[in-house]
Amino acid sequence: GDNVFLGSQVVTISDALIGDADGNGEVTIADVTRVQQIVAGIVEKSDCDMNADVDANGKLDIRDATLIQRYLAQYIDKFPAEK
């Protein structure tokens, strides 16, 4: 996969976890919050944030936040990007 440089870390995109916007290796409510902050213009997008494009439409939007919430609540067991 492609390498992305994050400060002193190198992350291989193929190893990225879908839904993990903050790049900590887990999908949590913090990832939902980060997507919401990006959509609202409160924080700027980084390379890891595109891991949260869980519907694979090429952009982060409120649909991604909602899908991550549904995943965390176990209404869905995988994201559209994984199908």
> Which DSSP string corresponds to 15-68?
GPPTT-TT-SSS--HHHHHHHHHHHHTSS---TGGGGG-TT-SSS--HHHHHHH
pLDDT the model gives residue 45: 87
Question: Among residues 5, 46, 3, 51, which one has the least CA distance to residue 28?
Answer: 51
Q: Quick: pLDDT tens for 18-27.
A: 999 998 999 9
Tokens 């291989």, located at residue? 12
Type and span of the H or E element at 71: helix 62-72
pLDDT the model gives residue 16: 78
Q: Quick: pLDDT tens for 28-75.
A: 999 999 999 999 999 998 878 889 999 999 999 999 999 999 999 999
What's this model's pTM, rounded to 2 decimal places?
0.80
d(CA 16, CA 50): 10
